[in-house]
A and B are shown apart, each in its own frame.
Chain A
Amino acid sequence: MITVENLTKRYGGFTAVDDISFEVRPGSVVGFLGPNGAGKSTAMRMMTGLTPPTSGRATILGQTYRELHNPGRQVGVMLDASAQHPGRTGREVLRVAAVSVGVSKSRVEEVLALVGLTDEEAGRRVRNYSLGMRQRLGIAAALLGEPQVLVLDEPANGLDPQGIHWMRGLLRRFADGGGTVLLSSHLLHEVQIVADDLVMIGRGRIVAMGSKEELLARGGTTVQSTDDARLARLLEAADVPVSRTGSGLVVDAEARVVGELAARESVVLLELRSGGSEGLEEMFLGLTAATSREGDAA
């Protein structure tokens, strides 16, 4: 369980994390989603005791990180997969951590197998690792002490689509066993695959939070027909807000409303589904545009 209460971090006049509160319960995989510079990493560093918060606090399993007994056995943390000494082999990185955490060498081999690093790869120096392999090594290090909680910053970054699905399976199994997972990402489609619940953050503030389905449902109903223009006119006439997308319409109403109207007016529907990712995508892009440097360049 991770509890974040009114966590705030200010650097001079700049507020990196602005009064965020949420709680991640056991059994869930929560995606911490936001554009670059939204404050995800700063928040995660505060949760793990690396950055002192300006105000507020974060606890893991009911204790602040610094109070935890042998934190490596309780919380698996990966904050930057690239932050490894390039001269160490992957296996050595884990063995050093194993000494500190107090687990056996055989556990090192276990986690290597778990993340799919072969014997040959484990013997290679980290300098020669691809980003995807570093991510796997970082996950292995996080899992080393058989923790109950995982805090992972951008774990899917650099993984291929197959790797992202592998990670979903891994984290799902972890959560099903009673574990708590908080992972960050700046890619919506990535976090959609891996996480079940989302906390969206922009400019240091939480802008939306809830289960994926809930947030997706806010995106309204996606509909496509043989005559979108007519359908749009009919919906507008019925006082239902409609917006056009590249491949159809997004309607701010339940799928049932749209379906009934189409049946009455004999419009041939090609697609009708609620909870398309378009709405969420739009919200996320709005968030990104507001915080990104695109505006300055334009």
Chain B
Amino acid sequence: MSTDTTRSAAPAVGGGTGDAPTATALEGRPGVPFARTFRAELRKMVDTRAGRWMVIVMAAVSVLILAGFVIWGPAEDASFHGLLELSTLPLALLLPIIGIMAATAEWSQRTGLVTFVLEPRRGRVVVAKALAALVLAAVVLAAAVAASAVANVVGGTGEWDLTAATGGGLTLALLIFTLQGVAFGLLFLNTPVAIVSVLVLPTVWSIASMAVSSLEDAARWLNLDLVTQPLFAGEMAGRDWAQLATSSAVWVLLPLAVGTYRVLHREVK
């Protein structure tokens, strides 16, 4: 709050009269309530053609795979769990892209000039984006669950064999992959580079660890694809959790931290 006693030494230009109305700032905490930032970020993810189609295509791919499996696949495997595993297979690959697009749009389209002016506390925008990506991933997953249930009733075995462990493991794994997308998006702030990295880097690492025997031990702790296998299967034991934690730390938390630091300190142009 500047008053006349603390008036700055800066030379004034315009409205030179001393008795001009003194404008004062609104009272209140800095920035915008988080709920509004979150709603805005969620909306931005689906209000463009690219964003909307991404979600539609993902749901459609799941449904198509299910339809194909029910028609041509081995009937005895078409239980609820089997169908759900199948329909979520493409999601592990596609959900990170939702995360990436959420993270990079502000920079690739330069909309950050508006977003970070409306909420200068960029960390909260990052959190809102990560949360919005996770919510969208959950919606897509719910669609896959619903489609699997329908497929099970229509053409499956009618067996409801999904345990809490497999259901929870599946959900957790997919959310981790989505968050990995957000992390890589923030790290590179460039959509194509982030997408290629998120798809290629883990594969390169897998191949490298298979080819070089000395890396095999490390890979068991640091390969996200490997350590999420028991998670998908719902067979997590003590050591599996530890391995999941280390892999997630390296492939999700580390890029998330570095990427967030970049966003917080980068000049928005």
Partner-B contacts on A (CB < 8 A): 1, 3-5, 21-30, 45, 48-52, 59-63, 65-75, 77, 79-80, 82-88, 92, 95-97, 99-102, 141, 148-149, 175, 178, 180, 196-199, 209-211
In the bound assembly, the distance between CA atoms of A85 and B105 in angstroms comes to: 8
A66 to B47, Cβ gap below 8 A?
Answer: no
B26 at the interface (CB under 8 A from A): yes
* Pairs A–B under 8 Å by Cβ, sample size 26: A1-B23, A5-B8, A21-B10, A22-B10, A22-B12, A23-B8, A25-B20, A26-B21, A27-B15, A28-B13, A48-B117, A48-B120, A49-B116, A62-B1, A63-B1, A65-B120, A68-B26, A70-B26, A71-B119, A83-B111, A83-B112, A84-B111, A97-B118, A100-B119, A101-B36, A197-B13
B37-45, B76-84, B87-95, B244-252 - the one binding chain A: B37-45
A71 to B118, Cβ gap below 8 A?
Answer: yes
| Contacting residues, chain A, for B11 (C-beta < 8 A) | 21-23, 209
| Contacting residues, chain B, for A211 (C-beta < 8 A) | 13-14, 16
In the bound assembly, the distance between CA atoms of A23 and B268 in angstroms comes to: 24
| Contacting residues, chain A, for B9 (C-beta < 8 A) | 5, 21
B109 to A74, Cβ gap below 8 A?
Answer: no
Contact string against A for B residues 25-62, beta-carbon threshold 8 Å, 1 for contact and 0 otherwise: 11111111100110110011001111000000000000
In the bound assembly, the distance between CA atoms of A25 and B25 in angstroms comes to: 14
Say yes or no: A23-B31 contact (C-beta < 8 A), given A61-B23, A100-B37: no
A71 to B113, Cβ gap below 8 A?
Answer: no
Instruction: Write the chain A residue with the least CB distance to B24.
Output: A61
In the bound assembly, the distance between CA atoms of A62 and B22 in angstroms comes to: 10
B15 to A69, Cβ gap below 8 A?
Answer: no
B233 to chain A minimum Cβ distance, whole angstroms, is: 39
In the bound assembly, the distance between CA atoms of A28 and B15 in angstroms comes to: 5
Sorted nearest first, the 7 A-B pairs with minimum C-beta distance are A28-B14, A69-B28, A25-B15, A87-B48, A83-B110, A197-B14, A28-B15
A29 to B14, Cβ gap below 8 A?
Answer: yes
| Contacting residues, chain B, for A85 (C-beta < 8 A) | 44, 48, 105, 109, 111
A70 to B14, Cβ gap below 8 A?
Answer: no
B2 at the interface (CB under 8 A from A): yes
A59 to B2, Cβ gap below 8 A?
Answer: yes
| Contacting residues, chain A, for B115 (C-beta < 8 A) | 100
A62 to B25, Cβ gap below 8 A?
Answer: yes
| Contacting residues, chain B, for A83 (C-beta < 8 A) | 109-114
Say yes or no: A100-B32 contact (C-beta < 8 A), given A5-B8, A83-B114: yes
In the bound assembly, the distance between CA atoms of A28 and B23 in angstroms comes to: 12
Say yes or no: A66-B114 contact (C-beta < 8 A), given A21-B11, A28-B15, A102-B36: no
Interface centre among B12, B105, B113 (most CB of A within 10 A): B113
B121 at the interface (CB under 8 A from A): yes
| Contacting residues, chain B, for A196 (C-beta < 8 A) | 14
Instruction: Write the chain A residue with the least CB distance to B50.
Output: A87
In the bound assembly, the distance between CA atoms of A149 and B21 in angstroms comes to: 13
| Contacting residues, chain A, for B37 (C-beta < 8 A) | 100
B32 to A70, Cβ gap below 8 A?
Answer: yes
B13 to A71, Cβ gap below 8 A?
Answer: no
| Contacting residues, chain A, for B32 (C-beta < 8 A) | 70, 72, 100-102
B110 to A96, Cβ gap below 8 A?
Answer: no
B267 at the interface (CB under 8 A from A): yes
B269 at the interface (CB under 8 A from A): yes
Say yes or no: A3-B8 contact (C-beta < 8 A), given A27-B14, A49-B117, A210-B13: yes
